[in-house]
């Protein structure tokens, strides 16, 4: 079984050592390249097949042969982490799409690999008067990258990290950039080896999605790979459930592979690694929240405004209209819903899309109805059992509901925009 990818490159090994203090522990044997994984270590753990986002790709692996490799690595090294891309599903949520160019030398033949809709969008994209450059990352790459990460509601990596990655891989880095006049509107950042290229970043200005800017970027990357004689073009990892991005990649003829990213070792080691992962995840979430503190401030103001309306109407309906306090709570919640939706959509999350509004309103209403039930139950419990004033009960209930709703709104209702698929 062949092992390919950036993991076989000396530049990758140098990068591991300089950036993370991770060094080779063993390599696949020259006599039998499929007898073992390339293995790296930081002195505490062993990393079989790769490290971080650099994984091995085994295009002709089979379940039985791969299981034997895993068993062999476990016998050689305790506490091992596997990071391998496979053409079959070993049971994982992480996938990647790889386009096998199969020795194509005529760039025009690339269109035969694409699905019909993708071919049409690619042809449409070439009618635009955009300027194409191929080479090192442009000066304004980081600004577009940061803007893209913010649109995706994710904290961008620091410029020093990105510059260090580019310096480490040197001429193995290639960027396909598109300009509208002097404005950078899209860029693909890839790292290549003689027979394999990994797309690290695909970034673009969402204002140009209607002109199929991402289809043009991917098509130009495929054309470049054919010219370089590259066999495998890896469009990068993604979650198995990310249907929009995955369908987009599949449209270019790329096939789904599966990233086996798993730990093997003693129960104590796995538990410690599990807790370390949770702590790292928490730190990343806190960093993301800090990076989006302005969004959180807008969320609190929007939610606070809706809450003031909610509580004001609750008081007015109960005090002056003579309604039962629970009926007042229901009516006030419904009215506050409309105010909350428009404030959160257009101001908090800066989502200006209109075509998605029906879907978003339905999801928002579903969450709000669920919240209404939770809110009403909490008001009832706090008022009738804890003997709190019903206004205090509503304040506490609203705060708990708002806290639990933030991530649903951020990642599900007003989720990041997707490129054309």
- Residue 23's pLDDT is 93
Whose CA is closest to 348, among 371, 364, 331?
364
Residues 107 and 225 in one domain: yes
275 with 190, same domain: the answer is no
Asked if residue 418 belongs to a domain, the reply is no
Exposed e or buried b per residue across 27-53, where buried means at least 16 C-beta atoms within 10 angstroms of its C-beta:
bbeeeeebebbbbbbeeebbbbbbbee
Provide the domain count of the chain.
Answer: 3
252-274 pLDDT, tens digit per residue, is 999 999 999 888 766 776 677 66
Residue 421 — very low, low, confident or very high, per pLDDT cuts 50/70/90?
Answer: very low
Same domain for 16 and 122? no
Burial status of residue 225 (CB atoms within 10 A of its CB: 0-12, 13-18, 19 or more): buried
Query: Which candidate, 216, 229, 156, 147, places its Cα nearest to that of 188?
Result: 216
Q: What is the pTM of this model?
A: 0.69
Is the same domain home to 167 and 183? yes
- Please tell me whether residues 18 and 62 are part of one structural domain: yes
**131: closest CA among 175, 174, 182, 173?**
182
Let me know whether 64 and 81 are in one domain.
yes
Answer yes or no: is pLDDT of 32 > 60. Answer: no
Query: Is 65 inside a domain boundary?
Result: yes
**Has residue 165 been placed in a domain?**
yes
Nearest to 238 by CA among 258, 263, 220: 258
Last-in-domain residue among 242, 272, 290: 290
In a domain, 362, yes or no: yes
Lookup: tokens for 267: 């129960």
For residues 169 and 226, state if they share a domain: yes
Q: Is the pLDDT of residue 9 over 80?
A: yes
Domain that holds residue 106: 102-230
For residues 393-405, average pLDDT: 85
For residue 139, being part of any structural domain is answered with: yes
The answer to whether residue 382 is domain-embedded is yes
Predicted pLDDT of residue 350: 78
What pLDDT digit, counting tens, does each position of 148-204 carry?
A: 887 776 778 889 999 999 999 999 999 999 999 999 999 999 999 999 999 999 999
Are residues 120 and 77 located together in one domain of the fold? no
Q: Are residues 204 and 193 in the same domain?
A: yes
Question: Based on the domain organization, do 123 and 223 belong to the same domain?
Answer: yes
Q: What percent of the chain has pLDDT over 90?
A: 52
Choose the final residue of a domain: 188, 206, 230: 230
**Alpha-carbon distance 126 to 111, whole Å?**
13
pLDDT score at 419: 47
Q: Is residue 420's pLDDT more than 60?
A: no
The mean pLDDT value of the chain amounts to 87
Q: Which one is predicted more confidently, 79 or 228?
A: 228
Cα torsion 104, 106, 110, 113 to 10°: value is -50
Shared domain for 326 and 361, answered yes or no, is: yes
Find the mean pLDDT for residues 319-348. 89
Most confident of 72-81, 292-301, 302-311: 302-311
Token couple for 304: 């606070």
CATH classification at residue 161: 3.40.630.30
Asked if the model's pLDDT at residue 373 lies above 70, the reply is: yes
Residue 83, φ and ψ in degrees, nearest 5: -150, 85
279 belongs to a structural domain: yes
Are 337 and 352 in a shared domain? yes
Q: Could you tell me the CATH number of the domain that includes residue 64?
A: 3.40.1350
User: Which of the 8 DSSP states describes residue 420?
Assistant: -
Sign of CA dihedral 63, 69, 72, 77: negative
Instruction: State mean pLDDT over 320-333.
Output: 90
Asked whether residue 11 is assigned to any structural domain, the reply reads yes
Quick one: average pLDDT of 380-396?
A: 91
Instruction: Annotate 219-285 with DSSP letters as a single string.
Output: HHHHHHHHHHT-SEEEEEEEETT-HHHHHHHHTTTPEEEEEEEEEES-HHHHHHHHHHHHHHHHHHH
Which parts of 320-352 fold into alpha helices (H)?
325-343
Model confidence pLDDT, tens digit, residues 225-257? 999 999 999 999 988 777 778 899 999 999 999
In which band, very low, low, confident or very high, does the pLDDT at 31 lie, cut at 50, 70 and 90?
very low
- At residue 106, does pLDDT exceed 90? yes
């Amino acid at each position: 079984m062949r092992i390919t990818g950036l993991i076989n490159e000396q530049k990758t090994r140098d990068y591991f050592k300089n950036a993370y203090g991770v060094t080779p522990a063993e390599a696949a044997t020259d006599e039998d390249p499929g007898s073992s994984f390339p293995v790296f270590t930081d002195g505490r753990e062993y990393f079989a097949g790769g490290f971080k986002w650099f994984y091995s790709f085994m295009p002709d692996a089979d379940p039985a042969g791969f299981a034997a490799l895993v068993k062999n690595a476990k016998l050689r090294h305790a506490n091992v982490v596997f990071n391998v891309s496979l053409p079959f599903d070993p049971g994982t949520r992480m996938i990647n799409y790889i386009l096998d160019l199969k020795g194509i030398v005529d760039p025009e033949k690339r269109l035969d690999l694409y699905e019909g809709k993708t071919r049409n969008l690619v042809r449409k994209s070439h009618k635009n008067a955009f300027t194409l450059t191929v080479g090192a990352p442009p000066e304004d790459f980081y600004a577009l990258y940061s803007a893209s990460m913010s649109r995706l509601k994710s904290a961008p990596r620091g410029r020093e990290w990105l510059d260090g990655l580019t310096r480490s891989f040197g001429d193995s880095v290639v960027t396909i950039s598109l300009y509208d006049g002097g404005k950078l509107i899209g860029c693909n950042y890839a790292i290549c080896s003689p027979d394999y290229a990994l797309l690290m970043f695909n970034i673009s200005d969402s204002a140009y999605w209607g002109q199929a800017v991402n289809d043009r970027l991917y098509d130009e990357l495929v054309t470049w790979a054919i010219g370089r004689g590259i066999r495998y073009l890896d469009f990068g990892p993604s979650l198995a459930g990310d249907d929009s991005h995955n369908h987009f990649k599949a449209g270019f003829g790329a096939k789904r592979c599966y990233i086996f990213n798993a730990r093997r070792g003693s129960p104590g080691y796995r538990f410690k690694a599990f807790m370390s992962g949770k702590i790292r995840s928490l730190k990343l979430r806190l960093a993301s929240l800090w990076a989006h503190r302005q969004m959180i401030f807008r969320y609190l103001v929007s939610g606070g405004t809706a809450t003031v309306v909610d509580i004001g109407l609750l008081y007015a309906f109960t005090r002056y209209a003579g309604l039962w306090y629970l009926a007042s709570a229901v009516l006030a919640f419904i009215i506050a819903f409309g105010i909350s939706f428009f404030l959160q959509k257009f101001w908090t999350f800066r989502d200006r899309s209109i075509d998605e509004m029906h879907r978003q309103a339905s999801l928002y209403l579903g969450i709000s109805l669920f919240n209404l039930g939770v809110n009403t139950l909490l008001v009832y419990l706090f008022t009738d059992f804890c003997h709190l004033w019903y206004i205090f009960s509503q304040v506490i209930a609203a705060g708990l509901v708002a806290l639990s709703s933030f991530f649903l709104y951020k990642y599900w209702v007003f989720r990041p925009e997707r490129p054309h698929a």
